[in-house]
Structure 1
Amino acid sequence: MDGFAAVDFTFAREVLQRGIAALYLVAFLSSLNQFRALLGEHGLLPAPELLEWARSSDRAKKAVRPTLFRWVRYSDRRLAALCIVGILVSALLIAGVPQLGPPWVPMLCFLAIWFGYMSIVSIGQTFYGFGWEMLLLEAGFLAAFLGSSDQPPATAVIVLFWWLVFRLEFGAGMIKIRGGREWRDLTALTFHHETQPMPGPLSRHAHLLPRWFHKLEVVGNHFAQLVVPWLLFVPILGLWLPDDIPLLVGALAAAIVVATQLWLVLTGNFAWLNWATIVLGFSAIGIPGDASGTIPLYWIVVTSAVALLYIVLSWAPLKNLFAHRQLMNASFNRWNLANAYGAFGTVTKERIEYVAEGTLDANPELAEWSEYGFRGKPGDVRRTPPQWAPYHLRLDWLMWFLPLGYRLEDWFLVFLVRLLQADGPTLRLLKNDPFDGHRPRFVRVVSYRYRFATRAERKETGAVWVRDRRRVLVQPLSLEG
């Protein structure tokens, strides 16, 4: 650190700018492929209806966060155009082209994709109600002020990234300590690898590890989330201590954050949450003498103003970290800045899956039923869970949440109607349609309990999962009925 210039953090700035831009590219691509079927003009939860409601009164208007579609009327084509532009601008930032100009050029590019993606999230309703949406938005806003390649990044902005990682990791740690007993008695990860929303190819192997290993996982998680985040701020001591020790401590803290997140990448599918944390963790890796150029005065003014804004906005999330009733994944302002983060305060002990089935037979009581296959969520017991992260399968994630609620959500009932209609965009969200585009006469939903097969069961049957039938959750439905 050297006053206003973080002279040792130009490498960190490169990773942050390009890594965050890469995550935006994935987010825009995910929206391009899924938004119209889920939330478009004929989607499961049509965004135009939400926007129309928002225009009905001032109170309704305040309930919808800022979005471009307040001023530009929504259409599926305009949504696709926004996603394509977002992908192109993100690609330029990944290549480092805007960073070759003065600092206001990458600033405008990052602010463009930040507001463009916020325009999507603001009307995304439950399909965009994930903590990593807020995380990506906040990271994109801060990345706008990292500057150009010919100058060191501003100290204030680098410190704001440390503050973001601290809220992300320490907030998650506090949620766990205050949450389910399983985090305190060290049994949480005995269940988590099996019951997490979308397991990956190695999740079963992780689940079958010894209990003592799972307890070590929990202890390591508590250390990484409750102790290590405090060390991220040690490099600021470099303003007064010329020794390299503060940089080494910060780099060690970053390495621990990255290592724990890589383990989560290997054992699960959490969209871009883990990858975003890895990218943000690099903000604490300083390389001595890794700087050239000077920061223009106007840029010092701009970045200092952003830091002052964050000081004001950070009071609410700071109080929340130490509040008895800590909020998880909460925003305290309309712009998704200085948010509260956290995940998995409790761990589910068993895995319940809702399986959608259809039939061409006229008599549902004597029918032969065929399953619809999802891209990511468990279904076929012989199928090894695929790796999808950082790509986000929104329908599959919402299917995991359904058994945790007290009733079937409205979007799911519309989803069943779309299956009866053999709706093309909806079917393209799935891995397979057992009827090859033809309309089934009936659909129903069956609830199953899933668990990973033991090594012996896997060897004997070839199955990855073992399931037992629980009950018919939704009785046969038809369009005529």
Structure 2
Amino acid sequence: MEWFGDDAYWLSRLVFQRALAVVYLIAFVSAARQFRALIGARGMLPVPDHLRRVPARAAPTLFRLHYSDRFFAAVAWTGALLSAAAAAGAADRLPLALAMAWWAVLWGLYLSIVNVGQTWYGFGWESLLLETGFLAVWLGNEHTAPPVIVLWLLRWVLFRVEFGAGLIKLRGDACWRDLTCLYYHHETQPMPGPLSWWFHRLPRPVHRVETAANHVVQLGVPVLLFTPQPVAGAAAGLIVATQLWLVLSGNFAWLNWLTIVLALSAVDASPVVPPPELPAAPLWFVVVVSAVAAGLLALGVRPARNLFSRRQAMNRSYDPFHLVNAYGAFGSVGRVRYELVVEGTDDPVVRAGTVWREYGFRGKPGDVRRRPRQYAPYHLRLDWMMWFAALSPAYARSWFLPFVERLLEGDRDTLRLLAHNPFPGAPPAQVRVRLYHYRFTTRAERRATGAWWHRTPVRDFLAPTRLR
């Protein structure tokens, strides 16, 4: 059935699946290394409590059958092992049905994690990985021509990611319309990277060009994904180039890399590497894939309508399996950067001479002399949520006091999420949290002090607190 599969995308499908497996690997390792402090049985937002509150139909997950930290770790590390093997090509060595089952298991394991992740997994790239991963199940293996309808669905996902992000900007902050948002964004983004200081110090006319180019790539170029080759491939290339620019300018977990992976699926590599002669897809594969595609198209009506709604939602899932979702980022851009600085003291009573020692985080700004680090595509969940908490205490209502409590207890799993624990011998007697205004230093300040940041105290976020 030549109408069903397209040999020309054989290499693109292979590269897409191998790269997607690497993203899965990073996601599973991130989950395995951080879950105990965040959602473990003794974590800040324990999974068992969540499962008691939320009905099964709203959050399908393997952990309905059983939860323990050991079982969660087994699920996460199993996913990491299967992802690494898929990246090495193991799934392509299997018969078609088993290869599909392999990708289905990866999707099911990660869905189980996301649906108990609560606040820590409320990011758009979690749903994007699940939506993309579900489509990967139906692409077949290297012995089958990739189904055309699935290739188009992957482009539809990429279109929604880019076009949705473009629309949410135009409908949101006025600085996107007057081309001034990047005067601030590189400084106020959630987690600046090693080059963000230099990006921020680019001349303002360059920032305006950056913003205008962003609008072109997000609002104009995605439409070209649905045109014939080589135009569609060129559009995908422009998206890849833009995403690499974002990779250099900040830390956005695996969002940029997964967008690049999606764009690769739209590239026709056959003029460079001729595809092998592939057999016709078996009838059962044609029937199953066609039925799944029809179902996804029906479900896709709501995110399509969302794109053209005046109340466009950003990063919203329309079903508990995250099969179709709405995407978007930075509908508004902060002009000022605030950071929470967490400090502890050994003094049981605060006095005039009390010495406060600062905890260090891995990714978020703290020590003004510490250069921002590159962590993406790895996702530092606590650091990201600390950025949200600095914007508004409402973002921290469910988890912040449990976090402080674990610092006062000297909880090892929580301390492993941090870069520096100023109390290695015993936990502090009290912890306080202060809100600071951070800004990048000027070139003159950088030369004079060696500091990347300048910070000014604003107010107390949490008064000195001790265990009861």
TM-score normalised to structure 1 length: 0.94
Task: List alignment gaps of at least 5 residues for structure 2.
Answer: none
Which residue in the other structure is 2:262 paired with? 280
Comparing 310-319 and 199-208, the one that deviates more: 310-319
Deviation at 1:162, TM superposition (A): 0.4
CA deviation vs aligned residue, 1:205-237 (integer Å, no higher than 9, x gap): 000000001101111100010001011111xxx
Instruction: Please list, as runs of the form range in 1=range in 2, the aligned pairs for 1:318-397 lying within 5 A after superposition.
Output: 318-366=304-352, 367-397=354-384
Which residue in the other structure is 1:57 paired with? none
Deviation at 1:291, TM superposition (A): 4.1
Which residue in the other structure is 1:241 paired with? none
CA deviation vs aligned residue, 1:314-346 (integer Å, no higher than 9, x gap): 111111111111111111112111211111100
How many residue pairs match? The answer is 462
Which residue in the other structure is 2:414 paired with? 426
Q: Which amino acid aligns with 1:196?
A: Q
Of residues 271, 275, 285, the one that matches 1:290 is: 275
Of residues 41, 45, 66, the one that matches 2:60 is: 66
Q: Distance in 1 between matches of 2:20 and 2:123?
A: 17
Q: Distance in 2 between matches of 1:422 and 1:406?
A: 24
Q: Secondary structure at the match of 2:351?
A: helix
Q: Distance in 2 between matches of 1:291 and 1:209?
A: 48
8 Å contact 2:60–2:112 — kept in the other structure? Answer: yes
Deviation at 1:29, TM superposition (A): 0.3
Deviation at 1:2, TM superposition (A): 5.6
Deviation at 1:102, TM superposition (A): 2.3
TM-score normalised to structure 2 length: 0.97
8 Å contact 2:346–2:429 — kept in the other structure? Answer: yes
Identity %: 52
Q: Secondary structure at the match of 1:323?
A: coil
Instruction: Please list, as runs of the form range in 1=range in 2, the aligned pairs for 1:60-459 lying within 5 A after superposition.
Output: 60-62=55-57, 64-70=58-64, 72-234=65-227, 246-288=228-270, 289-294=274-279, 295-366=281-352, 367-407=354-394, 408-459=396-447
CA deviation vs aligned residue, 1:134-154 (integer Å, no higher than 9, x gap): 000011100111111122211
Deviation at 1:14, TM superposition (A): 1.1
8 Å contact 1:418–1:426 — kept in the other structure? Answer: yes
Q: 1:437 to 1:222 in 2, by over 3 A?
A: farther
Q: 1:227 to 1:437 in 2, by over 3 A?
A: farther
CA deviation vs aligned residue, 1:409-457 (integer Å, no higher than 9, x gap): 1311111111111111111110010011411111100110000011110
Deviation at 1:21, TM superposition (A): 0.9
Q: Distance in 1 between matches of 2:211 and 2:325?
A: 25
Q: Distance in 2 between matches of 1:155 and 1:438?
A: 61
Q: Which amino acid aligns with 2:264?
A: F
8 Å contact 1:189–1:218 — kept in the other structure? Answer: yes
Q: 1:220 to 1:2 in 2, by over 3 A?
A: farther
8 Å contact 1:20–1:276 — kept in the other structure? Answer: yes
Q: Secondary structure at the match of 2:25?
A: helix
8 Å contact 2:7–2:278 — kept in the other structure? Answer: no
Q: Distance in 2 between matches of 1:2 and 1:233?
A: 20
